[in-house]
Structure 1
Amino acid sequence: MRRHERGRRVLRRAVRVLTLAAGLAGGLVLALLLAGVLATWFITLRIEARYPPAGHRVPVEGGHLAVLEAGPGEGAPSRGTVVLLHGASANAMDPMQAIGRRLAGDGFRVLAFDRPGFGWSDRIAPDAASPAVQARLVSEALAALHVGPALVVGHSWSGALATAMALDHPERVSGLALLAPVSHPWPGGAVPGYAGWYRSRPGRLLLWIATRTIAAPLGLYYLDRFAEVVFRPQGLPAGYVDGARVPLVLRPGTFSANLRDLDGLYAFLAGQSARYREIAVPTVIVAGDADPVVRTPVHAEALARAVPGARLVVLPGIGHMLHYTATDAVVGEIEGLAARQRAAAE
C-alpha cells in the first residue's frame, strides 16, 4: 500500500510539473506571437512611411488601382501609350524604374500599374488572384483614363495577365511585349511544398498567423538575399531593393495577396494556354536562356509557337530580371514593336 501511495504522489508531482511546463511554454508562445504582431505593425508603419503613394489612384468597380505615369500627358503628342505590368513580389515601381522612364524619355506615355493588392492598389475582389480578374480591373482603369488600345508590357507573372487582357479585352491592347513571361503549366504542378497545405483549413490559419507575426521581420532580414536569387546569374544592382520599393510586399495584406496569386497561377494557365492561338495583336516575347525562375523552353518558347506571328528573342546568358540586366535589348524590342505597329497603321 505504501508503495502504491508513493507512486500516486510521484504521479501527481509529475502532472503538476508537466502542467506548469505547458503553461510556461504556452505563455512563451503567446509572448512570441505578441512580439511578432508588434514587430509586424512597426515594420509596416516604417515601410509605408518610407514608400508613400507616388502616383495617383484610378477608380474601378469595388475600389481603386494605383498607377505611376511618365512621359507626355493625356492629349499631348506622343509615340503611343505603353502599359507596364509587374511580376510577383513587386509593384509598379519595378518596371517603371527599369524601363518606364527610359521609354517616357523616348516620347512614350507610360502607365505602370500596381496590380490589385500590391503597392497602393486595393485588392478589390475576393477572386482577384485570377489574372482574368486583374485583366478586367486594369482594363476598367484604362477605360477610366481614356486609354486604349495600348502596347501592354508584362513581366513574369504578368505574362499571364497581359495575355488575358489581349484575349478578354482586345479593345484595350494594340500589342504585347512579354518579358520572361509565365504562360504555361510547368512540370511538377503547382508551387512545390506550398499549394497543398495552403488550401487546408489549418494551413490557411497558420498562413494568416505567419503573415501577421513572422513574415515581415524574417522577410526584411532576408530581402536582399531573395532579390539576389531572382537576379541570378547576374548580380543584384546597387539600390534595387530600395529604388523598386520592394519592402512594400512585406505588409500582411500584400504578402498574402502575393501568395494567393502564385497559388492559383498553375490552374489558371492550364485553362488559358489553350487559347493563345486567338491572340490577334502583334506580339514580341523576350526571355533569357539562363532564367532560373521562369524556364524559357517551358514558357516563352511554347508561347511563341502558340501565338500567331509572335517574335521570340532569347538573350544568351541573361536571367529573369532582363528589364534591368538587358535594358537596351528590352527597350529596343518594345520600341521596334511600336514602330512596326505605326508602319502597319500608316
Structure 2
Amino acid sequence: MGGSLLVVMLLAAFLLAAGVVYQWRGTKRDIERQPAPGRLVDAGTGQRHVYVLGTGSPPVVFESGVAASSLNWRQVQVGVARFTRACAYDRAGLGWSSRQAGPTTAARAVGELRDLLAAVGVAPPWVLVGHSFGGYIALQLALGHADEIGGLVLIDPITPEDWCAPTPKQRHLIAGGRLFSYVGAVLASVGLVRLCLARLQRGSGRLGRIVLRRFGRTASATVERIVGEVTKLPAELWPAVQAHWSRPKSFMAMAAWIAGVPASARSLKEALARAEKRSSSEGSALLGRVPLVVISATHGGSSPRREHESLARLSERGRVLVALKGGHWAHLDDPDTVIEAIRETVETVRRAPPVTATPPAAPV
C-alpha cells in the first residue's frame, strides 16, 4: 500500500513539474511570437499597453468590458481609424498590460486613462466608446472632466443600479466569478489552461470540457460563452487571445476587476448625484449637449432597456440605438452599426463642438 502511494505521489510530482516547464516554455514562446502591437507605457503602477491607429480629431478612445482586452475592439478600431484617430488600451492585468496593486475600480481607471492618453499624445476632447463595464469608466470620466469629452458611445452598458447594491444572487455571481478566476490562475500556472486551449484550437475541446465540468455547469457555460465571443474576432487575433488567457495574470486581473464592480457602481452613482445637484439649478441635462449614443442590445427582444433610455437622457443630445443583431457584444456581432454610430458622433463634434456641462469643483 505504501509503495503504491509513493508511486502515485512521484507521478503527480513529475506531472506537476512537467506542467510548470511546459507553461514556462509556452510563455517564453508567446512573448516572442505575440509582441504588443502598440506602446508599453510606464503608468507608475506597472506598464500599460496602448495601441493607436489613424489620424484626425476628435480622437476616439475605447474602453473594454470587465475582463476584455484591447483586442476585442480591433475590427471596430480599424474601421474608425479610416476617419479619425482611434485608441484602444489594456487596463491593468489584461492583454499586454501588467498587474497593479490596490483597488481595481472605475474611479481609479479614470485617472490612469487620462495619464496614459497624455503620455502618448492623444489630446482631448475625446469621444469615449465604452462596452458594458467600460461604460462606468466612460461616464465617470465624463462627469468628472466634462471639458475633456467630445462625445460618448455606450455599448450595452451596465448601469449603477445594476450593481450598486448587489442582491444575494449577484453576490453569489461575484464570489463564483472570483473563485473561478483564482482556480483558472492555478491551472494556468501548471500549463493546464494552455494545454486545453491548444487542443481547442486544433478542434478538440474534450479535455477542456472534462476540466470545466469539475467546476459545475455555471463555469462551463461561462467559458463556452466567452469562447463563442472570441471566435467572432478575426482568426489572426486568436493566437494572441490564447496567449493572454494561458497566463495566470489574466485570471488574477479578472478576479480583481470583478470584485471592483460594486464599488465602481457606487462611485458612479455618487458622481451622478453630485452632477444632478449642479445641473438642477440650471435646468439642463447632466452632460449638457455632449453627443451621447446608447447602443442597447435586445437579447432577442424588441425594446431597449428602460435604464438605457435613462442614460440617454443624461445629455440633451442623447439617444438610444437598438442593436437588432446579436446581443451584449454588439461591437463583435455588428461592428458596422457600431462604427457608424461612432462616425456620426465624431461628425457631430466636428460640425459644432458641444457645450459641455460645467466641470465639477473637485475631479472625480
TM-score band w.r.t. shorter chain: 0.7 to 0.9
Deviation at 1:260, TM superposition (A): 1.8
* Equivalent position of 1:135 in the other structure: 110
> How far apart in 2 are the matches of 1:22 and 1:205?
29
Larger radius of gyration: 1
Specify which of 175, 184, 190 is matched with residue 195 of structure 1: 175
Q: What letter corresponds to residue 113 of structure 1 in structure 2?
A: Y
* Equivalent position of 1:286 in the other structure: 295
Specify which of 164, 186, 192 is matched with residue 140 of structure 2: 164
- Confirm or deny that 1:150 pairs with 2:150: no
TM-score (norm 2): 0.72
Structure having greater relative contact order (Cα 8 Å, sep ≥ 6): 2
Q: What letter corresponds to residue 89 of structure 2 in structure 1?
A: F
> How far apart in 2 are the matches of 1:101 and 1:345?
24
Indicate the SS of the match to 1:189. Answer: helix
- Confirm or deny that 1:324 pairs with 2:332: yes
Contact kept, 8 Å, 2:53 with 2:78, in 1: the verdict is: yes
Contact kept, 8 Å, 2:107 with 2:267, in 1: the verdict is: no
Q: Map 1:198-277; keep pairs closer than 5 Å.
A: 198=178, 209-213=186-190, 214-222=192-200, 229-230=225-226, 236=232, 239=235, 241-242=237-238, 245-276=241-272
> How far apart in 1 are the matches of 2:337 and 2:260?
31
Q: What letter corresponds to residue 327 of structure 1 in structure 2?
A: P
* Equivalent position of 1:44 in the other structure: 27
Unaligned runs of at least 5 residues, structure 2: 206-221, 276-285, 355-364
Unaligned runs of at least 5 residues, structure 1: 1-16, 73-77
* Equivalent position of 1:80 in the other structure: 58
Point out the more displaced range, 40-49 or 151-160.
40-49
Q: Kindly, what percent of the aligned residue pairs are identical? A: 24
Give per-residue Cα distances to partners, 1:229-263, cap 9 Å, x unaligned.
Answer: 34879983561652774532332212211222123
* Equivalent position of 2:362 in the other structure: none
TM-score (norm 1): 0.76
Specify which of 26, 40, 46 is matched with residue 57 of structure 1: 40
* Equivalent position of 1:183 in the other structure: 159
Indicate the SS of the match to 1:112. Answer: strand
Give per-residue Cα distances to partners, 1:175-208, cap 9 Å, x unaligned.
Answer: 221112233335631462x616958xxx998665
> How far apart in 2 are the matches of 1:244 and 1:197?
23
Aligned length: 315
Q: 1:310 to 1:191 in 2, by over 3 A?
A: farther
* Equivalent position of 2:360 in the other structure: none
* Equivalent position of 1:14 in the other structure: none
Give per-residue Cα distances to partners, 1:107-142, cap 9 Å, x unaligned.
Answer: x0111112222222232x312522222221111111
Q: 1:25 to 1:289 in 2, by over 3 A?
A: same
> How far apart in 2 are the matches of 1:195 and 1:222?
27
> How far apart in 2 are the matches of 1:115 and 1:67?
9
